[in-house]
Amino acid sequence: MAAEIIDGKQISADIRAELAEEVKKMKSEHGITPGLAVVLVGEDPASQVYVNNKEKACLEIGFKSIKHVLPAETTEAELLALVDRLNKQEDVHGLLVQLPLPGHINEDRVILSIDPDKDVDGFHPISVGRLAIGVPGFVSCTPAGVIELLKRSGTELEGANAVVVGRSNNVGKPAALLLLDENCTVTICHSRTRDLGAVTRNADVLVAAVGVPELIKGDMVKEGATVIDVGIHRTDNGLVGDVDFEAASKKARAITPVPGGVGPMTIAMLMRNTLKAAELTLGR
Ligand code: GUN
């Protein structure tokens, strides 16, 4: 039987519509408009597209968008001073600095300078630590989107064997922690894993976030698995993921396409984190 295609574009639109309703309530009941500040340094074309998409999503949902575009020659001290100002600015509930930064700026120092209560990217070590010990905090947007796709596609997570292929700080590791929190039995694989297929064939839930085009072949997928493909690669045959979609969809119960799977979820989760950041200020 052909696999169910998990429509990330639709699910992302549904979530953003749900959030827009909550924003209306937040405005009418508390007089607060959630605000997201995005800082871009330099003129990287991909980053410009990402930042513009974030601004557009904010405005559609009813958030305030505060965009700062700085020249590539901006010093680290100047950037840190701006982050410090945005940390203190009351109409800024969420704050992110678009990566990558120019080579002369230390990304770790910049991430550390962000107020963890405004860290809607979930990149601050305090956010990562909160996730690791299972206390409330901001979760990085792409792995949060992976979990949301699993839940909204009716995937049984309790007790399931979940295999994450890839161990990056922003996707693989947090995805594994989130799956553990959902009571999955979690295995993390990577480029040094011996006999990758032997591990992935045991996966009821398979998350591919390894950054190698179509590494996951059909014979590496368990019959009836749910497959979430985080990869996206431009090839001569168009965009492909980390999974051989044609072959894997003959085995899987449900699978995300590339594009239109995980990609659109990242912004929806960023919007959700920003609303959460605004809600955090209510109790103060
Ligand atoms: N560059 C590519 N993706 C991201 C992201 O999710 N957040 C930030 N800050 N930079 C990025």
pLDDT tens per residue across span 165-187: 999 999 999 999 999 999 999 99
pLDDT (tens digit, 9 = 90+) per residue, 217-266?
999 999 999 999 999 999 998 999 999 999 999 999 999 999 999 999 99
This prediction's pTM:
0.97
pLDDT at 283: 77
Between CA 185 and CA 183 the distance in angstroms is 7
Q: Which residues are catalytic?
A: 54, 98, 121
If you take atom 2 of ligand 1, which residue's CA is the nearest one? 99
pLDDT at 263: 97
pLDDT (tens digit, 9 = 90+) per residue, 69-78?
999 999 999 9
- Residue 273 counted as domain residue: no
What's the Cα-to-Cα distance from 250 to each of 58, 139, 207, 225, 255, rounded to whole Å?
A: 38, 32, 17, 11, 10
Element (DSSP H or E) covering residue 229 = strand 226-229
Q: Is 169 exposed, middle or buried (0-12, 13-18, 19+ CB in 10 A)?
A: exposed
Tell me, yes or no, whether 196 and 243 share the same domain: yes
Range of the domain at 156: 141-263
Tell me, yes or no, whether 187 and 93 share the same domain: no
Q: What is the CATH number of the domain that holds 164?
A: 3.40.50.720
Residue 148 in contact with ligand 1 by CB distance below 6 A:
no
pLDDT (tens digit, 9 = 90+) per residue, 190-207?
999 999 999 999 999 999
The tally of domains found in the chain comes to 2
Tell me, yes or no, whether 91 and 41 share the same domain: yes
Residue 265 in contact with ligand 1 by CB distance below 6 A:
no
Q: What is the CATH number of the domain that holds 78?
A: 3.40.50.10860
The amino acid at residue 201 is R
Tell me, yes or no, whether 112 and 205 share the same domain: no
